Structure 1
C-alpha cells in the first residue's frame, strides 16, 4: 500500500524516533509499504518519520544510482543491488574528510542542495528478523544511510546548510509545508486542512 509522504513542517520529522520492539505487529507489512511508497516516489531511501511514524526504521534501494557514469566503478558495484532494511540503527562512527554531494528529500520536494558528510560510517542495526549487524560503508552508500539515519534522529538535510542558504530557502520551505508545490506522489502537508 502506498503511504502518504509527510512534508516539511510536520512535527513528526523533528522527533527522535523510538526503537521498534521485536514483537512489533505488522512489521513485514510496514516494510513492504515503505518500499512500495519509496518506489512510487522514485526515491532511494525512506524513513519511518517520513510516513508519519516516529520509529527507528528506514529502507534503502540504491540501485538507481548504479547507472550513474560519473561514479567510480567501485561505487557503481556497491550501489547495484544495495537493498536493505535498517531497524533500530545507530551510527557508531563517521570517519574521513567531509565531501559535498547534491542531496534531495522526498519530504522536501523541488529543493536540492550540496551537503557535506563524512565518507565512511560504521553502523549497528537489525534486519526485519531482528538479527543484529555491525557494518562499515563508504562513498554514496554511506551518504544515503547517513541521510536516512538523520531522519530517525529528527534531522533534515536542510539543517546541515549554511545560515545564508537556510534564509534563502525559508520561503520555499514554507510553501512546501502549505502544500504549494507540485509533486507526482501522495503527500501529507502539515498546513493543509483535511477535506479541502
Structure 2
C-alpha cells in the first residue's frame, strides 16, 4: 500500500473514457487503498483512478461540509445526474467575492486554479468495494467534487470546460511547464505540488 504518482494533463489515460470495473478482488482493494493514501497526501478532496494511471471507473472523495459532516468514500462504476447550469450564466470579473468559490483546481493540472461554473446539485449512484449500491444527493462543493471526478472518468479535465479566456490561460501554463505529453507525473509528499 502506497502513495502513487499522479499523472499530469497530456497523458492519454486522462483523456480517454475509463472502463467499468468488473473484477472485485484484492487488486481492486489495493488500488482503492492507494488512491485514498494518494488523495490524502496530495492533499485533495477527490481522486479518479485515471489520475493514477488506471483506466477504471473509480473515484475516491473526502470532504467536510459546513455542518462538519465528513463525506469520505469510493464510487465504483458511478452514474451522475446533475441540474444543468442555466443557459447564459457565466462568471464575469465584476461578480462579488463569494463567486470566487467557483474556482477549481486539479491534481492532474497541479498548482493552478480557474473559475468554472458547475451545477449546484448532483445525484451520485455507484457501488462500493463490497458491491453494495448507494446513492448520495449532493449540493454545493460536494456536488462539484462529484462532477469533477466523474468528468475524469469520461476523459475530461476541468480545464477542458473553461471559458475562452481561462482556457487560453490554462493552455499557456501547460506550454510553459511542458505538459500536454504522455508520461509526466508528480508524487505527493516528494514533489510538493498542489492542485
TM-score w.r.t. structure 1 length?
0.79
Distance 2:124 2:184 in 1: 37
CA contact (8 A) 1:12 1:49 kept: yes
> 1:1-196 residue pairs with structure 2 within 5 A?
1-63=2-64, 75-77=65-67, 80-95=69-84, 101-174=102-175, 175=177, 177=179, 185=189
Which whole-Å deviations, capped at 9, do the CAs of 1:24-46 have from their partners, x for residues lacking one?
44111111100101111111110
Partner SS state of residue 117, structure 2: strand
* Uncovered stretches (5+) of structure 1, i.e. residues with no partner: 64-74, 188-196
Higher deviation after alignment, 53-62 or 89-98: 89-98
Partner SS state of residue 83, structure 2: strand
- Larger RCO, structures 1/2 (Cα 8 Å, 6+ apart): 2
Structure 1's 168 and 86: CA in aligned 2 closer, same or farther, altered over 3 A?
Answer: same
Measure how far apart 1:181 and its partner are. Answer: 10
Aligned residues: 175
Distance 1:122 1:76 in 2: 19
CA contact (8 A) 1:95 1:121 kept: no
TM-score w.r.t. structure 2 length?
0.80
Which whole-Å deviations, capped at 9, do the CAs of 1:115-147 have from their partners, x for residues lacking one?
101101112111111111233211111111111
